[in-house]
Structure 1
């Protein structure tokens, strides 16, 4: 499996292919889910949000065919993934969101994002 989140144009993103792979869905189903979310966003007057968070791109398959995919920011990913509610999906959502945070911290040159355990230990040390 490829990395969950990468850097594109200086921004942390994932794509619809990765979402499909990780959540065990067909890519055309994920594309449909994204388009449905975008239609609802248009109805809500959120065209600008779509423009900044959902980028449709072309990619070439190993067989040489060209297809469409979406690049998703963390916000776009969160909107799409909200509809996936199986226990496995919940686990993957958390992993994606943690990876987004790690990549964003890397982009900002900040220190490593602490795990919950590391945060608790740091808090306990400060309390002592």
Structure 2
């Protein structure tokens, strides 16, 4: 299996570094996928001394300012592909959620060398390559410094579309289903007023985010002893409650129909 023994290790500053997920939000349709982090302490160490994944050695702080969530938090909650499947491990580097070619190789059970060749042979513009594939390096178990890539959400999607195998097929099928769902929603005539429609959409979005927060993000941040676990807990719960109240007020018939 490619990338054997390479995983996510204990972070240098757990309170300032938070793993992330990629979130795709398009045309009023959202599904959230969260990547989990975990690996034995015996995995290879990156250039930054201490326990850190090779793709995490420049992880940025995610914080809260002015009573709201900063753009870095948004980026940290965002490498998303549509499927609610497992995904390659993700880090936040310079405020942007990325994965690595090592993680992609491990996820798709491919040799890392083959993934590197695939990236270098991609038939995309130089501008797209520069924006979405950043050359980096890592140190393997024998102490050798070897090349790798940090890959953005768009780069990951472009790369994965060229893969074959069971996981690649699941990834592509989920994208097809997502676009079909978008088309279905766009073709359904809206009978609600603008305010009621917006309340319904907001409630749908907040409910999805709230569910992932309670089941995955909050336990992960709490385990990492991140201050975000405390500072965001009430805000996210209150936002979900408020969105539900507004939706029930403006869409009483719709809410009754669900019961």
TM-score range, shorter chain: 0.5 to 0.7
Using CA pairs under 8 Å that are at least 6 residues apart, name the structure with larger relative contact order, 1 or 2.
1
Structure with bigger gyration radius: 2
- Pair 1:85-2:170 in alignment: no
Count matched residues: 99
The residue number in structure 2 matching 1:75 is: 154
SS at match of 1:88: helix
User: TM-score, with normalisation over the residues of structure 1?
Assistant: 0.66
SS at match of 2:149: strand
Q: How far apart in 1 are the matches of 2:118 and 2:146?
A: 17
Q: How far apart in 2 are the matches of 1:72 and 1:6?
A: 10
- Pair 1:58-2:143 in alignment: no
Q: CA deviation at 1:91?
A: 3.9
The residue number in structure 1 matching 2:104 is: 19
> Runs of at least 4 residues of structure 1 off by over 4 A?
none
User: TM-score, with normalisation over the residues of structure 2?
Assistant: 0.34
Structure 2, unaligned runs of 5 or more: 1-6, 9-36, 38-88, 175-205, 213-243
SS at match of 1:64: coil
The residue number in structure 1 matching 2:79 is: none
Structure 1, unaligned runs of 5 or more: 95-110, 116-121
The residue number in structure 1 matching 2:225 is: none
1:1-128 residue pairs with structure 2 within 5 A?
1-2=7-8, 3=37, 4-37=89-122, 40-41=123-124, 46-91=125-170, 112=209, 127-128=254-255
Residues 74-120 of structure 1, C-alpha deviations (whole Å, 9 max, x = no match): 000011100123233344676xxxxxxxxxxxxxxxx63767xxxxx
More strand by share: 1
Q: Over the residues paired in the alignment, what is the CA RMSD in angstroms? A: 2.7
Q: CA deviation at 1:70?
A: 0.5
Q: For residues 63 and 74 of structure 1, do their structure 2 counterparts lie closer, same or farther at Cα, with a shift above 3 Å needed?
A: same
More helix by share: 1
